[in-house]
Chains A and B, each alone.
Chain A
């Protein structure tokens, strides 16, 4: 594929979701500039939400447009395969847009000017970030992947620093810039080697050129994979690359923390899956044992380390955001498991396992962060003791939070439970018992973590006796998250069947 392909107008149709977001970003940026100061910037928030929803509509439309549900799936590739409209991307896009929409929605009326002076920017800057995430999930080329990654990262840096007047916020942003930059450099460095041995950045070309490259320069591929692994591990905050996460999560405004925990992490996973799944398939088809085992064992070890360190670290943590950061570390470990397992004829539902847990993770985390925003506001701090006596002050919120926490802890009957169950079943099917054991044990230890909230909410009495003020969007989004968690728990079947119907491994994930 040496000839350059240009973007045609028909292709532009397929980019409708991304284009929508770009236009919305520009329009809102201009709007923010021209609107007089006295106008509440919530309007921009609402418009951001509208932009996100419009984009989501396009994604859904695209999904159904070129796929009749009975027939084989189609994949549309743009610009010589560097951009792919496939169900892997589409499903993830929906998750990212949905999660962002929830975050925006619950921020409306909750985020205050004193806290985030640049509220307009805060809202509309989410759009390029989501755009970056979408690009990452839809790319078929290392360059587009990288651009998407950086688009997401750079906007996230700004978002983390959105609390302009708080030194904590800029400190967090700086730390994020440094670790993010170094991680990017590592990924990029790894990519450069991959490009070097194959001569193309296109994933399809890489796949087809792998055979030759393996024979000539196996070592470089080895190095490349390890460098990329390190970079992604840092982006995903897998142990021991996780240390920055707590600081950044703590310093960032809470909605941004939620965004980082869900969308940024999910997007990094999307990219990781795009690249590594290719290798996994290659290794599986060409029974070249050595590297396969090394690379994916490394992933498994990272995932185990993340689960252990994340859970154990959260055990002693009193600051809720840091705690959720560490919980995110553990969850990242769990999300990595499907990829780290062998691909066998019994276990090839890697994607369903991944995305189901990702959805569950997104729903419960956003819900938890929304509750945290409100509780921290009323308590005046972000420590776990702010939850003390929540049951007496706001029994319904406490009940909702309890369900979310149960889901985080993986207790039935919640989305988190089934998500973990499928992943666990996969580990058992592939006979990776040690990983299953670690998953189970850390899950159980995490009971202690999440139930420490519950202990505060129900067993202690707090200092504040007044009720909890919830803005209606916050309340609605919390309850939607709770409902989502329960639906995922009680009715996993329709969702998984839908995913199964949509998703065809050879088309949607394997770039050929």
Chain B
């Protein structure tokens, strides 16, 4: 094999970057051609990614990596490079595929927007950065792209900059994820100083931490792992840094699908998977990951039950699903996590794009104002339904297989984690049922001007729906192909029947209850809210987390800033002013001395000489 596609993997992010450059250079003038440039750019990446992926599947080739020196300081070298492994090639396909579909979809969705070419430029930049992140062979390069995708997310969330909510959401998205980035940055610094030869590349990290009783002590390992996890928590919207993700729904819906469901938010999971040996070397870190993941899964799902904004429900669902992935990682199953990431990317993108289609048609995001859309928006309804089933973990849809893998892995580790996961799955099914039935079933609440979206939007839905059905079969309990491909190990036996039964049962139960409440009406809708209003209210207000942060962090910080400001004005600057003032006071004293009375002058002089004489002569006696 003289050349392989992998050697050209660096081109994958370059295509969208080129698209970004062209779009930026063209400026506003590219309303018509702009989208096409974006689409072609991502298409090229998709094709190349598929080639790489197929190449790896057929040959099962060695990992390919190549790096150049980015920065040399004295004897220290920092390099930048890319690496193609099975894991990265999988991610490449996911990212390019979703990105391509979203590009196509956006051409319809954003048709009427003035700044459509800017939108496509941002998306291209994001895609490029995300691909760069995926391809990075070392943590520093990874971090660089990690931040870049954050910025793109920020830009796209705030795309409709004139909306105050969008502005606030963009700001929040950036700042909250930055908290996580901080952790990652410190972890990076720690790694740099503790790794032999200051190596930061994943291969070396893998080797160093996989060696039992390695060079780095357990304490430091735990610290590094936890700090990396903080980064992942920020990016993947895990508790307690999840608050930005639902707010980020202020961005255009295709963005929610691309960035805040399928790709960027999964980067946290990808990060943990990439640096998994560090976590494996520390039990504490693993436990933390698992607990946080499980807690986030149930926590976000429970909030999702009480939301009314279609995108927010999906956002909390994303948070919850990312929690599942973290849980999987925490219990040691990289393949389950990646599997869920893989399937989730498709069905969640599908759901978001579907939601976008709904919003496009219904001109509202509040599910209480919708209803009966299934009649007018048939394709949307069908594809959305498939996505919902996939998410709810109903076989044979993709979500079932991956969620099942996670639950099985959890059960292997700890019963409580499994229980939590199962309950969360129940919630998931319930809120999806509520969402689906409220939106598509029942009578139309609007004046019937809802209409099906154009084909440029529905075709991606259909493609994603198909993927949501079939994607799960790459790794069933019966044939763990994906896991083997990813980890290079023999498939684990996670296909315990109990798990499967429980998983399907809670899913169906959730849907059934949802059906009872929202379609059949056997149970009153306010059955819970009338009995436990506080509970519902707490859920609606997302456990008051935002308020709590505002009270505990934002407000004190602002007051502290004001106090510091006052300190700066009155103390630091005050001392300066005081020095100036006392100097001129001395001058004024002198002016007063110059009273015009010559005898006073002489007296002053006399007193002066006496004091001087006494002081000089007298200092000997003290």
Do chains A and B make direct contact within the complex (CB under 8 angstroms)? yes
On whether the beta carbons of B609 and A230 are closer than 8 Å, the reply is yes
Q: With A241-B605, A243-B601, A243-B604 known to touch, is A312 a contact of B587 (CB < 8 Å)? A: yes
Confirm or deny: B571 has a beta carbon within 8 angstroms of a beta carbon on chain A.
Answer: no
Contact with A along B596-617 (1 / 0, CB 8 A): 1010111011011100110111
Confirm or deny: A475 has a beta carbon within 8 angstroms of a beta carbon on chain B.
Answer: no
Of the listed residues B600, B605, B617, the one surrounded by the most CB atoms of chain A closer than 10 A to its CB is: B605
When the two chains form the complex, which single residue of B586, B588, B596, B605 contacts A240, counting CB atoms closer than 8 Å?
A: B605
Which one, A24-32, A173-181, A275-283, is touching chain B? A173-181
On whether the beta carbons of A316 and B584 are closer than 8 Å, the reply is yes
Q: With A313-B590, A317-B587 known to touch, is A301 a contact of B602 (CB < 8 Å)? A: no
Nearest A-chain residue to B613, judged by Cβ: A226
B60 partner residues in chain A, CB cutoff 8 A? none
Interface residues on B, range: 20 to 34
On whether the beta carbons of B584 and A240 are closer than 8 Å, the reply is no
Contact residues of A: prevailing secondary structure: helix
Q: What is the distance, in angstroms, from A268's C-beta to the closest C-beta of chain B?
A: 15
B584 partner residues in chain A, CB cutoff 8 A? 312, 315-316
When the two chains form the complex, which single residue of B591, B596, B598, B607 contacts A313, counting CB atoms closer than 8 Å?
A: B591
On whether the beta carbons of B616 and A297 are closer than 8 Å, the reply is yes
A360 partner residues in chain B, CB cutoff 8 A? none
On whether the beta carbons of A294 and B601 are closer than 8 Å, the reply is no
On whether the beta carbons of A316 and B593 are closer than 8 Å, the reply is no
* CA of A394 to CA of B605, assembled, Å: 42
* CA of A309 to CA of B605, assembled, Å: 13
* CA of A241 to CA of B598, assembled, Å: 11
B609 partner residues in chain A, CB cutoff 8 A? 226, 229-230, 233, 241
Contact residues of B: prevailing secondary structure: helix
Nearest B-chain residue to A315, judged by Cβ: B587
Nearest A-chain residue to B593, judged by Cβ: A243
Q: What is the distance, in angstroms, from B591's C-beta to the closest C-beta of chain A?
A: 6
On whether the beta carbons of B608 and A241 are closer than 8 Å, the reply is yes
On whether the beta carbons of B586 and A309 are closer than 8 Å, the reply is yes
When the two chains form the complex, which single residue of B586, B587, B605, B617 contacts A243, counting CB atoms closer than 8 Å?
A: B605
When the two chains form the complex, which single residue of B583, B594, B602 contacts A312, counting CB atoms closer than 8 Å?
A: B583
A243 partner residues in chain B, CB cutoff 8 A? 593-594, 600-601, 604-605
Q: What is the distance, in angstroms, from B598's C-beta to the closest C-beta of chain A?
A: 4
B596 partner residues in chain A, CB cutoff 8 A? 247
Interface residues on A, range: 35 or more
* CA of A237 to CA of B601, assembled, Å: 11
Contact with B along A280-298 (1 / 0, CB 8 A): 0000000000100010011
Confirm or deny: A302 has a beta carbon within 8 angstroms of a beta carbon on chain B.
Answer: yes
* CA of A426 to CA of B584, assembled, Å: 29
* CA of A326 to CA of B593, assembled, Å: 13
Confirm or deny: A308 has a beta carbon within 8 angstroms of a beta carbon on chain B.
Answer: yes
Nearest A-chain residue to B591, judged by Cβ: A316
A216-248 with Cβ < 8 A to chain B: 222, 226, 229-230, 233-234, 239-241, 243-244, 246-247
On whether the beta carbons of A244 and B601 are closer than 8 Å, the reply is yes
Q: What is the distance, in angstroms, from A189's C-beta to the closest C-beta of chain B?
A: 12
Of the listed residues B598, B602, B615, B620, the one surrounded by the most CB atoms of chain A closer than 10 A to its CB is: B598
B601 partner residues in chain A, CB cutoff 8 A? 175, 179, 243-244
* CA of A462 to CA of B591, assembled, Å: 26
On whether the beta carbons of A179 and B598 are closer than 8 Å, the reply is yes
Q: What is the distance, in angstroms, from A324's C-beta to the closest C-beta of chain B?
A: 14
Q: What is the distance, in angstroms, from B610's C-beta to the closest C-beta of chain A?
A: 9
A301 partner residues in chain B, CB cutoff 8 A? 612, 615-616
A184-239 with Cβ < 8 A to chain B: 222, 226, 229-230, 233-234, 239
Q: With A240-B607, A313-B587, A313-B591 known to touch, is A294 a contact of B612 (CB < 8 Å)? A: no
Confirm or deny: A424 has a beta carbon within 8 angstroms of a beta carbon on chain B.
Answer: no
* CA of A233 to CA of B610, assembled, Å: 13
* CA of A294 to CA of B609, assembled, Å: 13
Q: What is the distance, in angstroms, from B600's C-beta to the closest C-beta of chain A?
A: 8
On whether the beta carbons of B598 and A316 are closer than 8 Å, the reply is no
Nearest B-chain residue to A240, judged by Cβ: B608
B564-598 with Cβ < 8 A to chain A: 583-584, 586-588, 590-591, 593-594, 596, 598
* CA of A239 to CA of B586, assembled, Å: 13
A315 partner residues in chain B, CB cutoff 8 A? 583-584, 587
* CA of A313 to CA of B600, assembled, Å: 17
Return the 4 tightest CB-CB contacts between A and B, nearest first: A240-B608, A313-B590, A312-B586, A316-B587
Show 9 residue pairs from A and B whose CB-CB distance is below 8 angstroms, ordered by the A residue: A179-B601, A179-B605, A240-B607, A241-B604, A244-B598, A247-B594, A312-B583, A313-B586, A317-B587
